[in-house]
Amino acid sequence: MKQFQNLKRKKINAENISDFAEAEAIAYTALANEYYINRLKKLANPDRAIALFDENKIIGTANSFGESISLPTNKKAKVAAVSYVSVQPTHRRQGILSEMMKIQLNEIHSVHKEPLAVLWPSETAIYGRFGYAPTHEKHYSISRNNAKFLPHISSNNLGIMLCPS
């Protein structure tokens, strides 16, 4: 890492999981409400999560899950499903994401023995330098004339409601 030589990686646990959720949410300009924190508690894997601390503040997050994907001819392969990757706005463009990706990809290969890491990123252009690339893309469109609500759903008084994530 270029400027932050005193960053420390710490395990996530019951005491800091809320901080992990908050750091990840803030990086995406969201709020770490109770639902978000509880969801992350269920999904985050303490053995695979990366929480980088600058003193007592989490400034970088990354996590992965062991999963399997279906391959042609009905075969399956182990993969690491990468998620919750974030760097705080105050610490961006300083090599922190590169350092986390190096740590994570090394562990995915050497510790978890998964030959492939999969990621659905919010900003696809960033991850090519770490070896990620799109596999395929599919777009769907539906004509408004053919898009209808199910018969048992009334279209009266429909509107849009924004809800916190």
Pairing of strands 75-87, 117-119: parallel
Record the pTM: 0.71
Structural domains of the chain, with CATH: 8-129 (3.40.630.30)
Question: Please, are residues 105 and 85 in contact by the beta-carbon 8 Å criterion?
Answer: no
Q: Can you say how many angstroms the Cα of residue 165 is from the centroid of all Cα atoms in its chain?
A: 15
What's the pLDDT at 164? Answer: 63
Each residue's pLDDT tens digit, 46-74: 888 889 998 888 999 999 989 998 877 88
User: Token pair for residue 55?
Assistant: 């003193």
Strand partners, 71: 75
Question: Please, are residues 66 and 115 in contact by the beta-carbon 8 Å criterion?
Answer: no
Strand partners, 3: none
The answer to which of 1-15, 56-70, 78-92, 100-114 has the lowest mean pLDDT is: 1-15
Each residue's pLDDT tens digit, 76-97: 889 999 988 988 888 888 888 8
